[in-house]
Amino acid sequence: MTDKIFNIRVDRRSFLAGSAAIAASTLPSPLIRSASAQEFAGKQIRVLTWSDPTGQAAVKNIMQTFEAKTGAKVIADLTGSTSDMIAKIKASASKPQYDVVVLSGFGADSLAEAGLLEKPDTSAIANLSRVDPKYQTGANGHGIGYFLWSDGLIYNTNRYTTPPKSYDVIWNAANEGKIVLPTPDNLGALELIIVAAKAAGGDLKNPDPGFELLKKMKGKALAVTTNSNQIADLFRSNAVNAAGVMSPLTFSTFIPNPEFNIGGTYDLAEGFFVDLQYMVIPKGHPGDAATVNAFLNHALDPVVQGKMAEEVWYGPINQDAILSDKAKQSPFIPSPAVIKERANRLDSGFLASVRDDWIQRYTDAVM
């Protein structure tokens, strides 16, 4: 019998702290015309983001296409996690090295609260006008929306020939010993607390019933981990029936391979969770401001948003994102319409205020 796994680690999906402010903008369009006219030839900017497949996709679909379109040079610095990016920006605060940082919401909030970011000129980012106002800005106006990271349910395609319709499979007695839960430090754990609270008659502000429900999982989960390679091996051996709350994006290299028996779904009665990723500008950045604004605008281009969504299963925030027929049919790429109708936007400010307490209570409940 497979031993139970308890693997606590901090990764890019770890929820550290944060809050988001939302603002709408009225935006003109001259920048798009100038950007396409090679106005930025000879200009150079430096962009910091993840080294994982999402960062590599950004190099290919955003940075390289921006270079081809504008003549500007983009130097990419790829690193392991949002925490690494925060450390880099703080370490270089006296002599900033980066013009744009692409990172998770908690990172944008952390840098904004530290006074290390400048507020972008939203009037110079024309594509923001086609972004749902909920996703335009955040981090007290210091962050420009980028893409949505989406969390749902991962399931075994041998056990479920059609996707489960609810997170309740997690505490279904039939799946005892065959469930993987997220680690306490992971955002998925806080999302699972919210799901459990609602399932048990509570809500976001009254999570106690949820913790009581989660206590029933103690000793009944096969693993508490967010290591995608480890989880994929468990699915491949049919040791696991479901995992959540987790993102299909994390398993994008495994899901297409039927050998792993992994499926993922956002089509859940409770909806799915979205976490807005941001683009931010460090205070005192060395590059040309107009080039930086053009880059932010390019990242929100409908074609670029569609390409990124298709390659790494991001949720596009430009409502006019151009998705291929294949992408439109994929259950792993939430369309702008699905996002608008089914997505649960997290209240990062509230979660930051309860984070430490919830992590401890979750740990006590399931481990």
Is the pLDDT confidence value at 239 over 90? yes
pLDDT at residue 22 in the model: 30
- Residue-wise pLDDT for 184-214, tens only, equals 988 899 999 999 999 999 999 999 999 999 9
Q: Which fold has domain 5-11+150-273+351-366?
A: D-Maltodextrin-Binding Protein; domain 2 (3.40.190)
pLDDT at residue 92 in the model: 97
Q: Locate the domains of the chain by residue range.
A: 5-11+150-273+351-366, 30-148+275-331
pLDDT at residue 355 in the model: 84
Pair type for strands 179-181 and 100-103: unpaired
pLDDT at residue 217 in the model: 94
pLDDT at residue 351 in the model: 82
CATH code for the domain defined by 30-148+275-331: 3.40.190.10
Q: What mean pLDDT do residues 61-88 have?
A: 95
Length of the chain equals 367
pTM of the model: 0.78
Could you give phi then psi for residue 28, rounded to 5 degrees?
-85, 180
Other beta carbons less than 10 A from residue 342's beta carbon:
17
Q: Which residue has the higher pLDDT, 11 or 37?
A: 37
Same topology between domain 5-11+150-273+351-366 and domain 30-148+275-331: yes
CB half-sphere exposure, 95, CA atoms < 13 A: 0
CA distances (Å), 103 to each of 7, 14, 224, in order? Answer: 24, 12, 25
pLDDT at residue 36 in the model: 54
**Tokens representing 182?**
């997220």
Say how far apart CA 143 and CA 138 lie, in whole Å.
5
Is the pLDDT confidence value at 328 over 70? yes
